[in-house]
Structure 1
Amino acid sequence: MKLHEKLLERERMNAPITVGLVGAGQMGTGLVSQVASMKGMRVSAIADIVIERARRAFLAAGVPEQAIVMADDVATADEALTAGRRVITRSADLLPQLAGLEAIIEATGVPELGARIAWLSILGRKHIVSMNVEADVTVGPLLKRMADVGGVVYTGAAGDEPAATLELYEFAQALGLTILCAGKGKNNPLDRRATPDSLAAEARARGMSPRMLCSFVDGTKTMVEMAALANATGLRPSRRGLHGPQTDIEQLTKVFALRYQGGILEEAGVVDYAIGNVAPGVFVVFTSDLPVVIDELRYLKMGDGPNWVLYRPYHLTSLETPLSVARAVLNGEPTIAPTHGMVAEVIAVAKRRLRAGEQIDGIGGSMIYGLIERAEIARAEQLLPIGIAQGAILRTDIEQGQPLTYTDVMLDENQTVVQLRRLQDQWLLTASSGAMVTSLSGGRE
């Protein structure tokens, strides 16, 4: 049965998939309205620190004011859900505890909150759809393992570039094509020194959070997305920070070619990105050494070769995310997950000279940006993952452009993301991880 047919069946049974959303920003609000037009699914609860933002998201989706209930405790919230009403709350931690929800979507982009809500959702036997790629590239492998043990699905979101690129990758992989490079077009110009203050006016004009826009412009978001793709496919970063050439769709097969072909790649099987009219699309550059296949590709007007490109010219961000909910609940499968473990890491690099004693402001701030690196190199050099950097105190001065290491900082050990990361590192290095993860996920193997 197709996904849409399964949703129609849930609609006919008057048993729609019930969803809780954490984060009613631009993406979350669009998602709520999109679900309102679907069959067999409903957003039943929204958590946001700005409670009126949660209320407005429901109102924009056509939910009557009188059907919205504010709740700060489990009993009140579950009673409202049982009565068919919608719940808003300031407490993100409340949603994973609610019996009336089947799946949680986390849409804040804050690694600490993303990690904690995913962990609590798994403990609460809820499927978790993470739009928080920042948390995924930090502790995603552990969260996936915990979800597998707990009998629920941990997944990234359809609509984001990693999942959109994965569709093309799996198509090419299944056909046995040789994949040279997979990646995305970057939407914003690259400025490693961008800060929320320098982008404040543009952010206001675009209706965006300055920190979110800053993470786009300084390149951190692209690094995070390509790391998620690497961890889902096994493709490796082409180099630290990737190449990111200025190019266009027509030149992708020439630019993302091997060195001996006149391209920029040292090896096949990598992730990278492009700046230019490739955005907002995603791509996979592939080749074949079979004469009949080459002739067929030329006949189909795919180009003369020796490389060809699969290109998807769009990604619909949060408007596609409900499909990940449906796949998780109805099919028990993720849209995208770090099935290859930690292939790539996103490391923290100083935007300016940092002083000992300063507290790091995190992703999208004025102090650090992210660069992708191969996980084994990051581990060998003890480079600091950007997802656990926020709140850390600097032990020493750091020069602009210098990567941070674990020894440079005192981490905030009270953060869930830090605790999970330490556990993940231990799990990936030892054979005793099974008992450890079983214990954290509620003892179910």
Structure 2
Amino acid sequence: MISHCFVRLIMNHYKDMTISRVLTRRRIDTMGDFPARHALTNSIDDLLEHSDIIVECTGDVFFGTEVIERAFEAGIPVVTINAELQITTGSYLSGKGLLTEAEGDQPGSLAALREDALQMGFQPLVYGNMKGYLNHNPSREDMAYWSNRQGTSIEQTTSFTDGTKVQIEQAVVGNGFGATISRRGLEGVASTDLNTSGNALALIAEGIGQPIVDYVIPSGYSAGGVFLVCRHDEEQAPAIEYFKMGAGPYYVLTRPFHLCSLEVGKTVRRVLAGGGVLLNNSVTPTLGVAAIAKREMKAGDMITRGIGGFDVRGEAIKLVDELDHVPIGLLRNTVLKRAVEPGQLITFDDIEVQPSRVMDIIIQQQQKVAQQFEEDMPTCGLLQQAR
């Protein structure tokens, strides 16, 4: 759906851009309804040869990583609307070329709101997501019903419903902007008033001494947007109160919509104009999203799918706290070596590791985090001794 809508937008409203190629793994003769059928190709080489910039919207960590690596080898920048890829291999890829999340999905919308806030002098304390519904372990039947009703894949519907998607999105935002989490899995505040909930989250951030990422589950007001909770200079407080933002010290800025494919073109224009990265997972991430068992499983059972599956869901974690966690984006047709219980965090000791390029990248990233953690440990000891 993203590719269809984005291509239509560019063809109908962006006279300064041309859809040169559209890479697909499907048979081209089965795609008669695609709006730029003349541009379809099954060849990555053909895509690269005819592109100045690539928009990656596969939703697939493994294939998306392959395409982006090839693009960077050819010196081509990439705009993505794939937070799942960002949290899994994005930090490695961000060190190899220009990779940026697009406006449209919640992470890109938060990044755009942040840019506006900083230009007005606000200092973000909370990067917030508004989530309409949460069920950590939905049934396959319910997901099939809502998938059909909403026109989304059952995998997408499940990752939205069980909370995996929001955990991934917020972890990417945290890594990109140097924010952290208050606890594994985030707070997920049930909210009847965004100002009240935002203030509560801001107090948590102040207590930690670092901005945080989190989300609310609204009741009585619309979900689906993003928000920031910010501070501002005290001398500006009278003016800000006059502007109907309240007495402070915390101010909630909202963006009550995100329009997915309709906004991606703005980020494409940004990159082509030399505007640089809007948001990526950073080359030094501190957050990840671990796989948590949804059900009891025994040795020999197969986790068919991580993100959007019925075996595991994702929870945001601090990397240094869970060095052996299995990133949920890695899991596909993965066999368990030992039994796990519902709610258990999956580690590499629990699974048969399948060789892949994504696995190679994850090992590199985890070794880098572990090395940094080991380097920091003696410093902490010296500080304690000095006190």
Equivalent residue for 1:368, pick from 280, 287, 312: 312
Deviations 1:356-399 (A, max 9, x none): 112222211110100011222122xx111111122322111110
Deviation of 1:160 (Å): 1.1
Distance in 2 between residues matched to 1:226 and 1:166, nearest whole Å: 11
The answer for the alignment partner of 1:40 in structure 2 is 16
Aligned pairs for 1:302-321 within 5 A:
302-321=245-264
| TM-score of the superposed pair, with normalisation by structure 2 | 0.87
The answer for the alignment partner of 2:95 in structure 1 is 145
Quick check: 135-144 or 193-202, which moved more?
193-202
Distance in 2 between residues matched to 1:257 and 1:304, nearest whole Å: 12
Distance in 2 between residues matched to 1:270 and 1:202, nearest whole Å: 32
Quick check: 167-176 or 322-331, which moved more?
167-176
Percent identical among aligned pairs is 29
The answer for the alignment partner of 1:30 in structure 2 is 5
Deviations 1:26-47 (A, max 9, x none): 1111111111121211222222
8 Å contact kept, 2:197–2:216: no
SS state of the match for residue 113, structure 2? helix
Amino acid at match of 2:152: M
Pair 1:404-2:346 in alignment: yes
Deviations 1:277-334 (A, max 9, x none): 35221100112461x2111111111112232111111111111112222222331512
8 Å contact kept, 1:246–1:274: yes
Equivalent residue for 2:298, pick from 355, 364, 368: 355
The answer for the alignment partner of 1:416 in structure 2 is 357
Change (3 A) 1:202 1:182: same
Amino acid at match of 2:286: V
Distance in 1 between residues matched to 2:161 and 2:202, nearest whole Å: 32
Distance in 2 between residues matched to 1:32 and 1:55, nearest whole Å: 14
The answer for the alignment partner of 2:54 in structure 1 is 104
Distance in 2 between residues matched to 1:430 and 1:399, nearest whole Å: 30
Segments of 5+ residues of structure 2 without an aligned counterpart are: 373-387
Count of residues in Structure 1 that have an aligned counterpart in Structure 2: 366
Deviation of 1:123 (Å): 1.4
Change (3 A) 1:119 1:45: same
Cα root mean square deviation, aligned: 2.3
The answer for the alignment partner of 1:171 in structure 2 is 116
Amino acid at match of 2:33: R
Distance in 2 between residues matched to 1:370 and 1:53, nearest whole Å: 34
SS state of the match for residue 103, structure 2? coil
Pair 1:87-2:31 in alignment: no
Pair 1:386-2:361 in alignment: no
8 Å contact kept, 2:62–2:358: yes
Equivalent residue for 1:184, pick from 129, 140, 147: 129
Amino acid at match of 2:300: G
The answer for the alignment partner of 1:79 in structure 2 is none
Segments of 5+ residues of structure 1 without an aligned counterpart are: 1-25, 69-85, 148-152, 432-445
Deviation of 1:237 (Å): 1.6
Pair 1:273-2:219 in alignment: no
Deviation of 1:406 (Å): 1.3
| TM-score of the superposed pair, with normalisation by structure 1 | 0.76
Distance in 2 between residues matched to 1:429 and 1:95, nearest whole Å: 39
